[in-house]
Structure 1
Amino acid sequence: MPYIILTDASLAFGHVPLLDHADFQLDAGERVALIGRNGTGKSSLLAALAGCGGLDDGKLWLQPGLRIGYVPQEPPFAAGQTVFEAVVAGMGEVSRLLGEYHTVSHALGEAGADEDELLQRMHTLQTELEARQAWSFEAQAERVIQRFSLDAERLVGTLSGGQKKRLALAQALAVSPDLLLLDEPTNHLDVAAIEWLEEMLLHSTMTLVLITHDRRFLERVATRIVELDRGRLLSCPGSFAEYQARKEAMLHDEALANARFDKFLAQEEVWIRQGIKARRTRNEGRVLRLERLRRERQARRERQGKVELTLDAGDRSGKLVAALEGVGKRFADKCVVRDFSCRVQRGDKIGIIGPNGAGKTTLLRLILGELAPDTGRVIVGTKVQVAYFDQFRSQLDEQATLIDIISPGSDFVEIGNQKKHVISYLGDFLFAPQRARSLVSSLSGGERNRLLLARLFARPANVLVLDEPTNDLDIETLELLEELLQDYPGTLFLVSHDRAFLDNVVTQTIAAEGDGIWREYAGGYQDWADHQATRQRDEVPAMGGLRSRDTQTAATRAGDGSRKVVTRSAAGGRLTWKEAQELAALPDRIAGLEAEQKRIGERLADPALYQSPPQEAQSLAVRLHAIDEELLALLERWEALEG
């Protein structure tokens, strides 16, 4: 039996229809990811499913007795509540009854209280609470608070962004929901919390609808992808990768159909404008058809264009951007950075990863010379121009217009010695001309991030500091931002918990390892994770402990051959002639495989491939997987031979 049936739903914001006679059905056990461009109405749809927002038209049916847990993008909490009170508050009527029960219980001990009346009221409340199984809910609240590592007595107003997100999840799970609705659940969570949430959702029996732009999270969790595109809901069973292939084919077919329609309409427009003789013999049915075609063309909603990202790197900085020698920093009794040394060169793309509260912002300020170290020395290079992307959007004035944010006091912005009108520049970031004078307060979370990027890129900078730039950005904009940063000639510092984004952008990683210790690693997040798994694999047998799931996965991927390689490298012997020849041949072998990998990727991205029998696409996918495995083995062998 379905949990939700949405029929002929319509919802508009101003003149823009967010839902245009859309239909949707959710069955028990599904894990549905709702995706789409920023501002298309995903959060509004999720709120409507949760009963927190209405539809303009259409019908929403929910299975009777369905328990729903809902985590909005920005959960509303009273700052003066304790964590326990906030979790219990999510239980609706049960929360009210529990609150009254505890109030009556406290009043019994006060002098002058009417004990008989209070005892009678307590008995009535207790009967109602037992009928609703409220005591089990209260125990469940305590369990989820413990599971999310929260302090039940701590005030909500003192929590960080990540802790508030965990609190919202705890509140939603406390009622043991049949259906869980999550709006951007990974925002403000660190990588460890995201991976924990992945595992929890994968092993849960709950039905799930979530909005997320974290591609790795999406790939692991979702069993069906539903895209909200121009008011329509397009469903694609299977993984995100399967959806991407189908979407390419759908857009191609849509473009062909629109082109045929426009050509036919143009021919009819030519016919209607023919001379007097033609008008006398005009077919009235053909005239009516032309009028219908005009109405259809006028009603067609074109797909929104892509964000146009350009970045002015300004004047080149010196070759050395920063050097740290034995740097240490403490705040009261907490050591944030302990004896850390590194050199940052022009053009480095550095990812900084670590749990919330590890001191990532402190480390960045030390590197850029904005914060003096307690011990050690910091050398900042010459001609350094820094631009910041702030995850809290504190640079945005809620009452300012979009134009004021981008170019206060001027109608033009200058990028790379070229002037551009501010309205045209905002259009590059998908802000329509009529919205250029809207207030910042009217923007969605994703639109605010796009505006912050537009403001950032309107100023020259040879050092970019991006603090969680991926929050709320849609997948297409994320991919375009990745391409821009890959080609950026300046120096980049990226703080992010988006694992795919880190892997696609950074060339080296600085990771927090606890107790103020930071270490540098080559590569992105996955390279660091593999290194950690390998280190744990090597340490665990000596400790006589059990391997974790991640460690076992890494050990299986590496295989017995890699263990032999590590043993030989540790021996420190010289290479034989045969090994030297093998090492010399490795770069060409890797280049050949990468070229083949690129050709297969281009072929798989071609929509024409999916018009033919599926055997070719399947064999290409198998070969692509084999190349990945072979490249990994060759890179491990190269590292071992050079070690």
Structure 2
Amino acid sequence: MNYITVENISKSYGELELFSDLSFSIHKDDKIAFVAKNGSGKTSILNILSGADVPDTGQVVMRNGLRVSFLSQDPQFDPKLTINDTIFNSESPQLKIIENYDKALQNPEDAEAYQKAFEQMEIHNAWEFELQFKQILSKLNLVNLDQKISTMSGGQIKRLALAQALISNPDLLVLDEPTNHLDLEMIEWLEQYFAKAQFTLFMVTHDRYFLERVCNEIIELDHGKMYTYKGNYTYYLENKETRVAQEQIETGKAKQLFKKELEWMRRQPKARTTKSKSRIDDFSDIKKRAHLRRSDHNIELEINMERLGSKIVEFHKVSKSFDDLVILEDFEYVFKRGERIGIIGKNGTGKSTFLNMLTDSLAPDAGKIIIGETVKFGYYTQGGIKVKQGQKVIDVIKEFGEFIPLTKGRQISAKQLLERFLFDGKKQHDFVEKLSGGEQKRLYLCTVLIQNPNFLILDEPTNDLDIVTLNILEDFLLDFPGCLLVVSHDRYFMDKIVDHLFVFRGDGEVQDFPGNYSDFRDYEASSPPVEKADTTTTISSEKKQDQNKAEKLTYNEQKEYKNLESKIRSLELDKKSMEEKFLDASLSQDQITELSQKLQKIITTIETKETRWFELADRLGL
């Protein structure tokens, strides 16, 4: 059943053309993800689908009576209303019935009103819907229904908007970054909810595990063209790779034909026949195809950052609380060179507070935090960049630095860094206020990196970034030789980047888990619910009865064993990526030799780490 048909739509703002002649359709039970770079017009397309905006040209044809619910990135509610008022401020007949029943319960003296409300609940079978609606509020941690909108944080308002969209039970849900401002448990619940529910979805999200497990179709806007992939994220990656490779082959053929036709054009006399005029007309099309260029190239960086000394950061019996909310209690940790730590925990457990204490913008209540003299922090906060009126993109970067030094005396300039993060020459001279929200986040990230820190702190860096930028950022961070501390709800990002986790449990409890996020979830899933496992002394969740075997490894060896698994997985991905580069037919012999040397280095490293892994596994008796 066809819900929506989009025909040849376009949208511009002044001289800026976001997109043109785009066409696609949405059918019942589709779960579609829309993928494109920041600034390509993703949010504009969602606004058009939801009816909040209209295209400049083309049309959107909707099925009669179609109920559409839209979750925007910046939902707006009446600040004077409560959560309860906002939820029931809906056209949903079932919500009206539940609202009347709740009012009747609050006034037990009016037996007639209660009986009428009860009968309506029975007639419309609203009991199951009421249970579902209360479960949604509970899962999204919206428990105080009398709380005023004016007192809520941005994250709470986004969760309220998501709850309202789900509860309204529409035919089509249009979602703009639904996982932003959700903690990891909420994301996993929503993932399972969408996978099972009979919703038709059209969404923009950068959460790649979400794409993998929820979506059955991906629509990509790439270099102005639409491509549809009838499958999940893995299917999309495989088929996009094939498409891009085929396009490169066709571009190569077009270049050869272009050279041939160019020679013919230069030989032609002024008087031309009808046949030659036809060939001349074809020449312009050949020229266009021959000069197609993709801007998704990668730059490998060997960063020459300032050397970290032996003393980096030390926490000695650090405690912090706000009234009755305990964040840390006697926390002890000594950071080591090259550590890559992820921080996870529910909202409100103190993750951002921990980062503020680490960077000396907030003092602990007790204990000491010692920062080494050689440490240079780079801190990416959730606040983002402060836009100055009339300032251009390139000028923003140059305020913080002109270049990043690389090894062997090389360097990468501010301009080159911007290019790597998808700001082309024209975009670099745009005014900052003209950038989309995602582009501003990308620019802010560049201002942090250009300062060449040796201890990088990223607080929710993946929010509002597109998948293309995330892949670039991951490549950069895998090359980064300093310490890395990341707070993120992006599970794919965490799995690829970090070696171990600080798990904020609440009430001042922080556990050091030796593995990435997927390792942690597997561990939690297989731990007995009646007792909380001690992750600081356990290598994995397998066979608690075999603890005597685990004792054959020291704590550091257990940690090394778990880290080896994630490192080997990451190296295998690097190996695959390197092997794919050999498919480029334009490589010179020197480039092939250089790639071969890099590939051999990766293979040798994998073999060394696998040997060490087998040695430790043997001592564990596995």
**Is TM-score (shorter-chain normalized) higher than 0.5?**
yes
Gaps of 5+ in 2: 100-116, 534-539, 554-561, 585-605
SS in 2 for 1:353: strand
Question: Quick one: which amino acid aligns to residue 473 of structure 2?
Answer: L
**Match of residue 558 from structure 2:** none
- TM-score if structure 2 supplies the norm length? 0.78
Asked if structure 2 preserves the Cα contact closer than 8 Å seen for 1:87 and 1:141, the reply is no
Q: Deviations over 1:310-356 (max 9, x none)?
A: 68563212122111122111111211111211110122111111111
**Match of residue 27 from structure 2:** 27
SS in 2 for 1:513: strand
Structure 1 residues 635, 15: CA separation in 2 closer, same or farther (over 3 Å shift)? farther
Using the alignment, how far apart are the partners of 2:504 and 2:356 within structure 1? Answer: 15
Among 148, 151, 156, the residue aligned to 1:155: 148
Q: Deviations over 1:570-592 (max 9, x none)?
A: 7x689xxxxxxxxxxx9999999
Using the alignment, how far apart are the partners of 1:40 and 1:565 within structure 2? Answer: 55
Whether 1:325 aligns to 2:305 is no
Asked if structure 2 preserves the Cα contact closer than 8 Å seen for 1:68 and 1:180, the reply is yes
**Match of residue 517 from structure 2:** 525
Distance apart, 1:418 and its partner CA: 6.6
Q: Kindly report the root-mean-square deviation, in angstroms, between the aligned alpha carbons of the 2 structures.
A: 4.3
Structure-to-structure mapping, 1:184-583, within 5 angstroms: 184-274=177-267, 278-279=269-270, 282-294=272-284, 297-298=287-288, 302-306=293-297, 314-397=305-388, 400-408=391-399, 413-416=402-405, 425-536=417-528, 539=531, 562-563=542-543, 566=546, 568-569=548-549
Question: Quick one: which amino acid aligns to residue 284 of structure 1?
Answer: T
Question: Quick one: which amino acid aligns to residue 158 of structure 1?
Answer: T
**Match of residue 68 from structure 2:** 68
Query: Aligned residues, how many?
Result: 558
Q: Deviations over 1:583-634 (max 9, x none)?
A: xxx99999999998987787799989xxxxxxxxxxxxxxxxxx9xxx9xx7
Whether 1:638 aligns to 2:612 is no
**Match of residue 12 from structure 1:** 12
SS in 1 for 2:73: coil
Question: Quick one: which amino acid aligns to residue 356 of structure 1?
Answer: N
Asked if structure 2 preserves the Cα contact closer than 8 Å seen for 1:312 and 1:459, the reply is no
Question: Quick one: which amino acid aligns to residue 295 of structure 2?
Answer: Q
Distance apart, 1:565 and its partner CA: 7.0
Question: Quick one: which amino acid aligns to residue 381 of structure 1?
Answer: G
Asked if structure 2 preserves the Cα contact closer than 8 Å seen for 1:248 and 1:607, the reply is no
Asked if structure 2 preserves the Cα contact closer than 8 Å seen for 1:369 and 1:379, the reply is no
Structure 1 residues 155, 398: CA separation in 2 closer, same or farther (over 3 Å shift)? farther
Using the alignment, how far apart are the partners of 2:127 and 2:552 within structure 1? Answer: 65
Asked if structure 1 preserves the Cα contact closer than 8 Å seen for 2:357 and 2:363, the reply is yes
Distance apart, 1:308 and its partner CA: 5.3
Distance apart, 1:488 and its partner CA: 1.1
Using the alignment, how far apart are the partners of 1:311 and 1:18 within structure 2? Answer: 35
Using the alignment, how far apart are the partners of 1:466 and 1:255 within structure 2? Answer: 36
Structure 1's consecutive aligned runs of 4 or more residues displaced over 6 angstroms after TM superposition are 92-96, 135-143, 417-421, 586-608, 634-637
Q: Deviations over 1:542-589 (max 9, x none)?
A: 9xxxxxxxxxxxxxx98xxx538725527x689xxxxxxxxxxx9999
**Match of residue 108 from structure 2:** none
SS in 2 for 1:345: coil
Asked if structure 1 preserves the Cα contact closer than 8 Å seen for 2:346 and 2:505, the reply is no
Gaps of 5+ in 1: 100-125, 543-556, 575-585, 609-626
Structure 1 residues 14, 592: CA separation in 2 closer, same or farther (over 3 Å shift)? closer
Whether 1:183 aligns to 2:176 is yes
SS in 1 for 2:506: coil
Distance apart, 1:360 and its partner CA: 0.8
Using the alignment, how far apart are the partners of 2:86 and 2:300 within structure 1? Answer: 41
Bigger shift: residues 447-456 or 522-531:
522-531
Distance apart, 1:28 and its partner CA: 0.8
Distance apart, 1:296 and its partner CA: 6.3
Using the alignment, how far apart are the partners of 2:158 and 2:564 within structure 1? Answer: 48
- TM-score if structure 1 supplies the norm length? 0.76
Using the alignment, how far apart are the partners of 2:323 and 2:564 within structure 1? Answer: 54
Asked if structure 2 preserves the Cα contact closer than 8 Å seen for 1:565 and 1:637, the reply is no
Distance apart, 1:396 and its partner CA: 4.1
Distance apart, 1:394 and its partner CA: 4.8
Give percent identity, aligned residues only. 32
Using the alignment, how far apart are the partners of 1:336 and 1:310 within structure 2? Answer: 37
SS in 1 for 2:198: coil
